[in-house]
Amino acid sequence: MHESMNKRLEERLVRYARVDTQSDDSSATVPTTARQLDLQRILKAELEGLGASDVRLNEAGFVLATVPSNVRKAAPKVALLAHVDTAADFAASGVKPVVHRGYDGQKVVLSGDPRVVLDPAIDRALAARRGDTIITADGTTLLGADDKAGVAVIVTVAERLLADASIPHGDVRICFTPDEETGTGIGHLALEQLGADVAYTLDGEALGEVTYESFSADQAVIRIQGVAIHPGKAKGRMVNALTLAAKLIGLLPQHARTPETTDGRDGFIHLVHMQGTAADVELTFILRDFELAGLEAHGRALQAAANAVAELEPRAKVTCTISRQYRNMRYWLEKDLRPAELALEAVRCAGVTPIQVPVRGGTDGSQLTERGLPTPNLFAGVHNPHGPQEWASVEEMEKSVETCLHLVRLWADQAPPASKKA
């Protein structure tokens, strides 16, 4: 059984990774890219072939399915979610997965670009996976194991549950989501469509990781409108928006509030996009912090920089617009820790020491939890996401499958919410 599951997980991740599913945060369509549907159609057909019930691909690009309950008593309905889209941070088209069986613990030089090296002396997670089957891309693209490793884990969980009636479980809802990387996808899924009492995203990294605390997040857009004129006649008249944008960036804290200078529980201000001309520039920032007070402080720092630039050059028009994205799931989960506690117990049942860490990011679970569906995040065996050094361990994915199987069994012993008891 171990060897069979290992091969299935490897085959699935390799197959899914080859499908380009990159999302686009500049698109207003739902989903943001049609190519995400290429994988969703594959997954729909695969779940149907495994014998899942109620399989459908809805108008917003979500694949939904059910593994029906095999226990007689009423039990909570558990949803397992993973996202199919890949990040826009790096090339994601033409992914060539490379399988490294029996990883020997040495540096891994990727064949497509020998400058891209996985070094266990730097990557402690990789150093711990000697002997595993490691999957990478070839160095010219990201792998997309974020979150296709999670997708492969969930399909394999569904396969096991449908084939093995000895594992007790209530209804298990399967959901593959688009546009997690843009933060816009899960908002198009009604909780009634998901139909679950508790949910878990399979979108974590380290072996044994259970996350029930995430960043709180806002987005900020600063627009600087200068004064355009022919550069030959510009003296005393031109106001260069690009120059003012550079001054604004220089006003921001550089050594305490950027991603590259923070870790642990530190928040940050991150400039993610800048476009424009000497006449008009738009800068997009993401603001992240575990505490609302810190998030608000980041917003004030940005607003202060925008005000300073406006005061420096009164002829320019400078605006700063801050919009809410998501909030730390801890604010809701700490009111009832049972979803997290059962996840920790499931990890232990799989023979793994659980790790409780706040995630320096967000998942679909952040928004679902805020909307009333408790949704911690579980490990799926992916490391170094969003870049060419991304890799996944098949053995860690296998432990993720085992964790999910124990988790649905544990939930089968729990009483359903009072309003949903049979």
Catalytic residue positions, numbered: 85, 180
158 burial level (CB within 10 Å; 0-12, 13-18, 19+)? buried
State how far the alpha carbon of 276 is from the alpha carbons of 226, 228, 281, 312, 314, in Å: 11, 12, 4, 20, 20
Q: Is the peptide bond before 178 cis (omega within 30 degrees of 0)?
A: no
Ranges of beta strands (E only) in 178-248 are 198-204, 209-211, 216-225
Task: Kindly report the length of the chain.
Answer: 422
Minimal CA–CA distance to 391: which of 170, 35, 103, 199? Answer: 103
Residue 257 and residue 254: Cα distance in Å, rounded? Answer: 6
Q: How far apart are the first and last CA of the chain?
A: 36
- Angle (CA) 25-31-35 rounded to 5° is 95
Question: What is the largest distance, in Å, between two alpha-carbon atoms of the chain?
Answer: 83
User: Strand pairing partners for 134?
Assistant: 100, 393
Minimal CA–CA distance to 363: which of 221, 180, 94? Answer: 180
For every residue of 296-329, DSSP letters joined together read HHHHHHHHHHHHHHHHH-TTSEEEEEEEEEE--T
Minimal CA–CA distance to 363: which of 399, 329, 407, 413? Answer: 329
